[in-house]
Amino acid sequence: MLEPSSPHSEATESQIVSRMILEVVAADGQVLEPEVRWLDEHLSLPPGAALALARLPPLTNADLALIRPRARMDALQRAWSVAMVDSDLAPEEEHLLARFAEGLGLSPLEASDAARSRRVVLPLERLGITAPENPALFRFLELCARTDGINKVSHCNFVTESPCSKVSLEHWCDLGFHKQGEWNTERFPARHISLTRGRAEGVPWDELVGLTIRDDDAPQATPISQRVQPHELQHISLSIDPRADMEVIRAALERHGVRFMTPVLTDHDPAGAGLRRMFTATQGRFFIEFAQQVPGEDGQHFDGLCAETIEDLYQALDGADADWASLTPSERAAHTHWLPDHVQLEPAD
Ligand SMILES: [Fe+2]
């Protein structure tokens, strides 16, 4: 049983935050295994307490007011983290988070900051990609965070050449990543390695990084000996709500001047699960991927990533320069407003 605690005490505050999190977990009517794992790891409650808290009536504004003002933003960010854990932000979850923000007395700006922080800023900061160094990129991510159906950062893909690959892999290992899979492409010769790292406070989903190692001897923009980083960021992938219409999202971004280098590409695995992707135009060497998991009948996620899936992207990249050359100067300027041609990374230690 939970011990009653006095108003404004840390115990009360911690109970209210735990109840916020439990309400978010239950908001979409289902409690998924990743959510249970996150609850176990991050709510330090005695055995049975979560169940007891879950039986209490929904939090009122008076309950939320028991959280100290300086802890309210953190409480909302924690609730956002849990809502994003399965990459699927249900309308009920979004509605509940808006109600919490209001009940906590946070302004609309603070509420949207909390959302943006958990959806895009924190996952990138943890990889050394920060807003002050990359204003155009974060302007674009803000636009994405305001666009219905775009959920959060799914992964970042870096590129390097063979001579730097050992140093790059060591960098990711030092940050706690370990190799998950490897694919070789032949039409566009390269090795593609996926690396994962477990959950952390505030980012309650496994973090994913891709590393593409080119074996060609094409001249590089920066000679290896002068590199500050052993790799560069090639693309950021943003996950799309499974119920969203990719074409609607594409049209919304195009209205702001964002250009795309591919149509919506669709792949299916043998179990019927699908993966839909589209890629923005490159300007320079950087672009954004939008990826939508379409679960199969058994609810399983797409499990068909293979060299051919990756070749599709490289086929599009092969024609990217010609596409860019075909744009009018104003079309190029509109796209460049949103995306940088190169993303600055924090210096490696
Ligand atoms: Fe990707």
How does pLDDT run along the chain (349 residues), one tens digit per residue?
A: 344 445 567 778 888 998 998 898 888 777 777 667 667 767 777 766 777 777 789 999 999 999 999 999 999 998 988 888 766 678 888 899 999 999 999 999 899 888 888 888 888 998 999 999 999 999 999 899 888 889 889 999 999 999 899 999 999 999 999 999 999 998 888 999 999 998 777 777 789 999 999 876 655 656 666 677 889 999 999 999 888 999 999 999 999 999 999 999 999 888 888 999 999 998 788 999 999 998 888 878 888 778 888 888 888 888 888 888 889 999 999 999 999 889 999 876 6
Distance between Cα 224 and ligand 1 center (Å)? 24
In total, how many domains does the chain have? Answer: 2
**273, two tokens:** 């699960």
CA of 151 to the centre of ligand 1 (A): 15
Which residues, in sequence order, are bridge partners of residue 136?
none
Could you tell me the distance, in angstroms and rounded to a whole number, from the CA of residue 112 to the centre of ligand 1?
Answer: 26
Question: Helix, strand, or coil here: 237?
Answer: strand
226 and 155 within one domain: yes
- 15's CB contacts (< 8 A; 6+ apart) are 2, 5, 53
> How far, in Å, are 138, 169, 205 from residue 34 at the CA level?
28, 28, 8
**CA 67 to ligand 1 centroid distance, Å:** 40
CA of 39 to the centre of ligand 1 (A): 29
- Are residues 165 and 303 located together in one domain of the fold? yes
Are 211 and 286 in a shared domain? yes
Last residue of a domain, one of 78, 106, 134: 106
Read off the CATH number of the domain in which 238 is found: 3.10.180.10
For the chain, where are the alpha helices, taking DSSP H only? 10-27, 33-42, 49-54, 61-64, 69-83, 91-103, 108-116, 122-125, 135-145, 162-174, 246-255, 307-318, 320-325, 329-338
Residue whose entry in the numeric block shows the structure tokens 């998950």: 180
Residue 289 Cα, ligand 1 centroid: separation in angstroms? 6
Rounded-to-integer distance, Cα 200 and Cα 78, Å: 12
Predicted structure pTM score? 0.84
The parent domain of residue 62 ranges over 10-106
Q: How far is the CA of 154 from the centre of ligand 1 (A)?
A: 8
Of 258, 281, 237, the closest CA to residue 123 belongs to 237
Rounded-to-integer distance, Cα 91 and Cα 258, Å: 26
